[in-house]
Amino acid sequence: MNTDEFPFKEECYDIIGACMEVSNELGCGFLEAVHQETLCYEFPDQEIPFESQKVLDVQYKGRRLSKKYVADFLCFGEIILEIKAIDTLLPEHTAQVLNYLKATGKKNWIIGQFWNSKASIQAYHPIKIQTQIKYKRTQTYICLLTIH
- What percent of the chain is modeled with pLDDT above 90? 24
CA 72 to CA 134: how far, in whole Å? 29
In CATH, what number is assigned to the domain containing residue 39? 3.40.1350
Q: What is the 3-state secondary structure (H, E, C) of the chain?
A: CCCCCCCCHHHHHHHHHHHHHHHHHHCCCCCHHHHHHHHHHHHHHCCCCEEEEEEEEEEECCEEEEEEEEEEEEECCCEEEEEECCCCCCHHHHHHHHHHHHHHCCCEEEEEEECCCCCCECCCCEEEEEEEECCEEEEEEEEEEEEC
In a domain, 148, yes or no: no
- Residue 134 in this model has a pLDDT that exceeds 70: no
Tens of pLDDT, residues 102-113: 778 887 877 777
In a domain, 48, yes or no: yes
Total number of domains constituting the chain: 1
In a domain, 145, yes or no: no
In a domain, 28, yes or no: yes
In a domain, 2, yes or no: no
113 close to 86: Cβ distance less than 8 angstroms: yes
The model's pTM is 0.77
In a domain, 114, yes or no: yes
pLDDT of residue 116: 57
AA identity, residue 10? E
User: Domain residues for 121?
Assistant: 9-138
CA 3 to CA 81: how far, in whole Å? 19
